[in-house]
Amino acid sequence: MLREQVRADLLAFSRRPETLFFTVFLPVIFLVLFEAIFGGQSVTLSGGQTVQQSTLQVPAFMTMGIISASFVALAITVVNRRETGTFKRVRGTPAPAWILIAGQVVTSLVIGLFMVLVMLVLGRLAYGVRVELSHLPWLIGGVLIGAAAFSCLGMMLAAITPSTEAAPPLANVVVLPLYFISGVFVPVDSLPTWLGNVASVLPVAPLVKVLSWPYVPTTSTPWTSLGLVAVWGAIGLIIASWRFRWTPRRG
């Protein structure tokens, strides 16, 4: 049953050009553009080490890929399914309720993993950015926990979004400033300290940190950041399950 659900959700996702563009192509286009513009610059890290900008940008846009799939696309799709009565309709069949959520979450997980793979391969082949094999398990773990946490936050956003029309702008209003202050578009070191401090407790910056570590393993393993991502996921899950509904908000 879950296989059929995921299959159908993936098919539906892949056939909507606008979500496909914003979720899959945009982070890749950003990576390519940023690499072309800033890739050659070298950056001095706070620890005193110097790395190529291109090395930092691969995990940064990997993070964006995961968030696009698990948070933005998930929230938009869930609101759409709720408001069009699709959820209500399926609740009238013997299918268990979890199948709908699981279908969406697994679908965005598959898309997120695909994005990570694209970034991984593109980073390696086009920009020579590599991950030590011994750091790969951390990267995979970080990706999975990050995707799960942002899925929960996506469900939370869906739960508090009133209408289909409001979903895309709301998701982007949340996410775009976070990209700027969390080291996705701009290195965190170039931000004012207070802004960096604010960003460091929000969910995006810790995930960038978690995914950057395998690429630049200069500091100790960022367990705190990973924990922070997980805590945000838990907060999202609690609010989502408190506010979630199956039936359209209007009518």
Partner 1 sequence: MPDVPPAISVTGLVKRYGDHAVVDGLDLEVHPGEVLAFLGRNGAGKTTTTEILEGYRQRDAGEVLVLGEDPATAGAEWRAKLGIVLQESRPLGALTVRETLRLYASYFPHPRPVAEVIGLVGLEEQTDQRAGRLSGGQQRRLDVGVALIGNPELVFLDEPTTGFDPDARRQFWDVISGLRDLGTTVFLTTHYMDEAQVLADRVAVMRDGRIAALGTPAELQALRGDVEITFALPAGTTLTELPTLSKAPTQRAGEVHVETTAPTADLAALCTWAEGRGLELEGLTVERPTLEDVFLAIAGDHAGDAA
Place of tokens 């993936």: 10
Shortest distance, position 9 Cβ to partner 1, whole Å:
9
Q: Which is nearer to partner 1, 21 or 132 (CB)?
A: 21
Residue 15 binds to partner 1 (criterion: CB under 8 A): yes
Residue 18 binds to partner 1 (criterion: CB under 8 A): no
| CA–CA distance, 125 with 211 (Å, rounded to integer) | 19
Residue 91 binds to partner 1 (criterion: CB under 8 A): yes
User: How many residues form the binding site for partner 1 (CB under 8 A)?
Assistant: 26
Please select the residue that binds partner 1; options are 187, 196, 217, 248, rule is CB under 8 A. 248
Residue 135 binds to partner 1 (criterion: CB under 8 A): no
Yes or no: say if 77 and 104 are a contact pair by the CB < 8 Å rule.
Answer: yes
Name the helix (H) or strand (E) containing 160: helix 136-160
| CA–CA distance, 154 with 5 (Å, rounded to integer) | 19
Shortest distance, position 239 Cβ to partner 1, whole Å:
25
Please select the residue that binds partner 1; options are 40, 96, 137, 169, rule is CB under 8 A. 96
Under rule CB under 8 A, which residues in 27-86 are in contact with partner 1?
84-86
Dihedral of alpha carbons 86, 92, 93, 99, sign? positive
Choices 52-60, 92-100, 105-113, 233-241; region in contact with partner 1 by CB under 8 A: 92-100
Dihedral of alpha carbons 155, 156, 160, 164, sign? negative
| CA–CA distance, 93 with 177 (Å, rounded to integer) | 41
| CA–CA distance, 62 with 132 (Å, rounded to integer) | 17
Residue 1 binds to partner 1 (criterion: CB under 8 A): yes
Q: For residue 207, how far is the Cα from the chain centroid?
A: 9
Task: Give the footprint of partner 1 on this chain (CB under 8 A).
Answer: 1, 4-5, 7-8, 11-13, 15-16, 84-86, 88-96, 99, 247-248, 251
